[in-house]
Each structure stands twice: as structure tokens, then as C-alpha cells.
Structure 1
């Protein structure tokens, strides 16, 4: 049973729909949407159906609005909760931070490179009724970016969905709360405990509400697919096919980067790395949840690959909270893809903003199915892309979510291997 089912459905008297995996629900929704779109005209709808077809997009609009609302509190609570509950040794923590930042940055650069070279959004031109997208072209201003990172009011980033300002606040409070907790533990005090408990409860509350919204994704998929097919036929999905291929290529290149880093930076043989981690990768792909795969990843890193427990715990347990390279790559590619679909151009400065926003947004991507859609709203906001086009990505996200989750877990495994160093466990103990 998937994580979303276990959280959102009571153990007694579950609704029959809660027993169907989310992926199957989405596939069923896609099938029904295709049939409905054909029945409504498949590119040649009758005038009498126009109002009904337009209203088909309402579920996706509501889901996207809810995801956008949850994005900022999710990132804030995720960062604070991680700082307060994660135990990271000083030296290992600094090395871990460098590895995580490097891996995520490389993932985003790979995604933007593939999108800029292949231009998947130019394979056909799409428009949503009534959407008018404009991106103000501006030169890159690093000082303006730094000035813009400091909010005018402490709650303003939550209202404006400004992820960079939000991360500044989250990191500031997270670092201070962590320091205060360490000082109080050293002094034998427990005054920090109520704050830690409150943040933990708020984080769990956001996750549960997010699960309710994600449970509605099949209805959103049905509405947007049926509307597109009814109004434009099947031609628009040619562009989505190009996007899927581009994302898979980007994820494959990121996997190659991981293998290279394991080969050059650790004692682990890349073939043994893939063979030993197969259970974790398959679990990640099948459940689309790095959180569900986390205990399996932790186990196989020790028992099948042979890493030290300390290295496995930092990569698998801590990395799951911060290391979402596949999600960061996907969000950056999605922003560039939609800008190409709209015939717009993101200049170098705007793509740098996408890089920074994707790095920060990936920190708050919860390890549950479809959670990347939440933080994607922040990436789109950062460069002025219309969020309604995220609904178009819902039609293929159920599959790409599984692929990027596997890459997220592979990234966690890579971090553990790099932290383990170039000396095998047995030799080290000898």
C-alpha cells in the first residue's frame, strides 16, 4: 500500500477508491479522458459543448491553486523540521553539504542543457483558452538578486510565494534553533522541546493536507486531458512526448554522472553499486516515494554494497530530506519547456533564477508521490510563467515522477558512497 493511502485513509471502513494505487487511478483517468475527449469532438467540438468543455479544467485549476498555497509552508516546515531533528556530525556535515549542493546543481545544469539543445517545447505550439503569458526580459542583476533575497516582512514570502526569501528565513531560523537546541542539551535543559514538537506537528499537518490534494490529481488529469482532446485533438501530445524523452535523457545523464562520481570518489565498484542498490531503486520507481524507499536504501547500502553505517545513514536518512536531484532537474526542465511551448525566451539571468529556485525548492519536495508538483509552482512564479500550464504536465507526471524518484534515491546512494571514501570497510577496520 502506498504512503498516500496509509496517511489519508482511516484504517477502519476505507473507501474502495483508497485501495486503488494512485498510479492506477491516474491511468484510469487518462483512459476515461481520451474517451470523453473523442465523444466531445476530438478537435472539432460543437458550439453547444463549449461551456461544458471549458468547465472540465476546473478540477485542475483547483488542484494547482491548492498546491501553490501549500508550497511555501511545506518548504518552511521541511527546512525547520530537518534542522531540528537531524543529527549531523560537524566535519561530515560540511562535506555532506558540499556533495549535496554539487549534485543538485549539476542535475539542474544537465536539465537546462538538454532542454536548450533539444527544444522539446517547440515541436508544436500550445495555448490555453484565455491564458496570456509574458515574461519581462531583463539583464541579470546579481546585486538586485541579493537585495531581493531579504524580505520586507517576515511573513511576506509566505504570501508572495517567494522561495528565495522563504529559504533565507527558513535557514536563519533553522540554524538559530539548532544552535539553541545544542546549547540547551549541553546544559541539560529541555526548553527547546515544545518548539520542536510544534514544528513537527505543523510539518505533519502540511503533509497530510498535501496528501488530500494529491488524491484529487486523477480528477485534474481527467479534466485537463479531456479538455485538450476535445478542443485540439491529439496533436498537442506530440509535444508532451518530446518532453518525456528529453526528461528521460536528462535523468539518464544524471545517472551517468552518479556512476562516474562513485567510480572516481569511492571504493565501491559501479556494477556492485547498481546491483546492490537494485531493490532500493525498484522500490523508489514502483512507489514514487523516496520516503517509502528510505529504509530499504539504508539496508542495502550496508548489507549489499558494504558501506559503513555512518555513511549509509547520512546519505539515505539525511539525504532523503535534502537530496532531490531528479526533482530539481525535472522542475528546471519543466520551466524551460513551458517557456518554449509559449514561444517565450528565458535569458541567462532568468535561467540562473530557475537554477537557484530549483535548488531551494527541491529541499522542500516531500518524499511522497507527485510532491514535486507543489514546489514547481514556486519555480514558475520565479520567472513569471503561468501556473495553469502545470496542468498540462499532470498528464505525464505520474510516469516521470517514478523515474525522478529513482534518480533521487540513486543520488542518496551516491552521497553515501562518496562519504564512505576510497577505503573499503573491511580494510578500514583492519
Structure 2
């Protein structure tokens, strides 16, 4: 058992070392892909990337407004109270880009500062954080449509519907860690035949958009908790 345990330990150490090497060369790989695109197509795709960023931010803002409207008419919590009580969770979600790391802060904010019942707070903050990733679903669908336009691929209505459905499924399976959406995005691209080699182009702006959509994911968890708590304060 001692020898086997030592071999397992060596294997894990080697695996971690290899992962560190991969992480170290990812920026170089992204630079190479971006340089290749600039060399063949110029800077036009990156000008369009600016419009894509603005579009995603606008869509996320609309989604946040929808959440606040649902909370206003579907629960006893007022939107202003939720934003004040949950600001620590939203700020942490934006700063860490991880809904998993934000879970305890979200739970504490909903229970102690907003005043929700423990059952409602735990269901939305702890369970919802693993399955309720609306911001990620929205981003992956918009990213697929953006890349399709960039490469000149005309998606039919059925393909666009497939993008939406696979984005929802992929977002449920996305881990609550930074950049996890880019991993599950390959499933969305593959479903409609989009070239996955263009995904690294999104890495140039994803570090910022990831933080924004994580904040929306956390707001979605808060929305679920408030709706579960009902229209009468417990």
C-alpha cells in the first residue's frame, strides 16, 4: 500500500505540474491565434468584437432589469432592498468571476441582510449556483451568433434555436469557476458546425465579460430565493 500510495502521489504531482505548464503557455497560444487572424483578415474582426462587448453588456443589463421586475411583483422584497442587502455578493461575484466562491456570501446576504427564510436563501444561493446560470447561457448563445457572423456563416432559424437550447444545457453543466463558459462553449459551436478554433478570439474580452455574467448569475440565484420566499414576509 505504501508503494501504491507513493506512485499515486507522484502521478498527482506530475499532473499538477503539467497543468501549470499548460496554463503558462495558454497566453502564448491565444497570441498566436490572434496574430494569425490579424495577418489573414486584418483588424476588422476585433472592431466587431467591440460591438459584441457592448451588445452583451446591454443584454445582461436587460436581464438584470427583468430579475428586478420579477422580484418586485413576485415577492415581498423590494428591488432596492435586494441590491443594498446583496451588494457584497454581487461585488464578490464580479471580482472573483466565480459563483461557487460567492455562494457563502450570497447565502449570508440573503438570510441576514435581506431577511429571507433559511430554506429560501439556501435553495437559491447554494443549489441555484450550480444550475441557474442564465448569464452564461445568454453569453454563449450571443458568442455563437457573433462568431457565425464573423466567419460569414448563415445560420438557419432551426440552427439558431439549436444554439439557444445547447447554450442552456451547456450553462447548466458549467462549473462555477472563472472562464468555465469557454469550455462548455465548444458543445454549442459543435452542435451547429461553427469552427471552435475561433473561441480563443473571445478570450481577449472574456476576462471582463466573465465577471459581468457571473454577477448576473448570482443575481439570478437571488431572484430564485426571493420568489421562493413568496409575497408575505416570513
**Alpha carbons 1:214, 1:370 under 8 Å: kept:** no
- Distance change >3 Å, CA 226–CA 343, structure 1 → 2: closer
**Alignment partner, residue 361 of structure 1:** 170
Identify which of 241, 256, 268 aligns with 2:65.
256
SS of 2:114's partner is: coil
SS of 1:236's partner is: helix
RMSD over equivalenced CA pairs, Å: 2.0
**Alpha carbons 1:331, 1:358 under 8 Å: kept:** yes
Cα shift readout 1:355-383 (whole Å, capped 9, x = no counterpart): 21111111110000000001100000111
Task: Give the drift of 1:237.
Answer: 1.5
Cα shift readout 1:10-66 (whole Å, capped 9, x = no counterpart): xxxxxxxxxxxxxxxxxxxxxxxxxxxxxxxxxxxxxxxxxxxxxxxxxxxxxxxxx
Identify which of 205, 218, 224 aligns with 1:396.
205
Is 1:348 aligned to 2:180, yes or no?
no
Number of residue-to-residue matches in the alignment = 218
Q: Distance in 1 between matches of 2:27 and 2:109?
A: 33
Is 1:272 aligned to 2:81, yes or no?
yes
Q: Distance in 1 between matches of 2:206 and 2:90?
A: 18
**Normalised by the size of structure 1, how large is the TM-score?**
0.48
Q: Distance in 2 between matches of 1:267 and 1:278?
A: 18
**Alignment partner, residue 147 of structure 1:** none
Is 1:242 aligned to 2:39, yes or no?
no
Q: Distance in 2 between matches of 1:281 and 1:252?
A: 14
Task: Give the drift of 1:305.
Answer: 0.7
- Distance change >3 Å, CA 317–CA 217, structure 1 → 2: farther
SS of 1:304's partner is: helix
Structure 2 unaligned residues grouped into runs of 5+ = 1-14
**Alignment partner, residue 104 of structure 2:** 295
Is 1:387 aligned to 2:196, yes or no?
yes
Task: Give the drift of 1:424.
Answer: 1.0
Q: Which has the larger radius of gyration?
A: 1
Which of the pair is proportionally richer in helix? 2
Task: Give the drift of 1:403.
Answer: 0.6
Q: Distance in 2 between matches of 1:278 and 1:249?
A: 20
